[in-house]
Amino acid sequence: MTKNLKKYLILGFLFFFPIFVYVFLSTGINNFAKLPVLTEAVMDIENIEGNSANVSFKNKISVVAFWGGDVNNKKSEALNLNQKIYKRFYEFQDFQFVLLHDKNDNEAIEDLKSDLVSGVGTDLKNWNFIPTTQSNIKMIFDSFKTNIELDNSFSTPYVFIVDRNLSLRGRDDDEDIGMLFGFNSQSVAEINNKMVDDVKIILAEYRLALKKNDSLFNE
């Protein structure tokens, strides 16, 4: 190999390598910042009976749980979500938990709140407990259009991610089940291995959108 050829190879490497790295990283960022939309236009909760604080899915990143009339059996699920998801992300702008339960279970809800506050020191500022009717719980749940069913108490251990535009987010190519509409809050492994990652992705997507809006506003 001649000296001139070596020189041209080195110069070519120095020129093209940074371009390759830039393209690779740009593609990776674009792929990372997408969490599939599985259902569009889920029903909002803003005007349902029992929602005295007018909590809404609009302009929020919401983790939504359907507890129905089974609140007494939800302590372990609440603690799992609290430790693995809420405490990690609750300070993020516009992040919230929404928990729909039977309006006759208010006493059980107060007991659970006490366990969260006094037991594990949780700041409940972004926990929204909505006491409503069974028909409302079913109506909201049905609008998610999942492959999951509520039990006889209008409850499920699965929780769901709803974005700022009222779209249900999840996985359309999960390695275990294909379409992953929700996360089993009884399973610490599923929360750790899947839900944490998906919440990170949608929050990163939200951050990116905010940065783009700020840059447009400042132009």
Same domain, 89 and 16: no
Same domain, 19 and 43: no
pLDDT given at position 111: 94
pLDDT given at position 73: 94
Same domain, 13 and 48: no
**Ranges under pLDDT 50 in the chain:** 18-32, 215-218
127 forms beta bridges with 97
pLDDT digits (tens, 9 = 90+) for 177-200: 999 999 999 999 999 999 999 999
Same domain, 43 and 99: yes
pLDDT given at position 208: 82
pLDDT given at position 119: 83
Same domain, 125 and 153: yes
Domain boundaries, position 5 = 1-32
pLDDT given at position 216: 43
Report how far apart, in Å, the C-alpha atoms of 127 and of each of 9, 51, 181 are: 60, 13, 21
Cut 0.85: pTM above it: no
In the block, tokens 């699965």 appear at 158
pLDDT given at position 153: 96
Same domain, 23 and 52: no
If one counts every other C-beta atom within 10 angstroms of the C-beta of residue 89, the result is 17
Report how far apart, in Å, the C-alpha atoms of 20 and of each of 17, 124, 160, 196 are: 5, 47, 38, 31
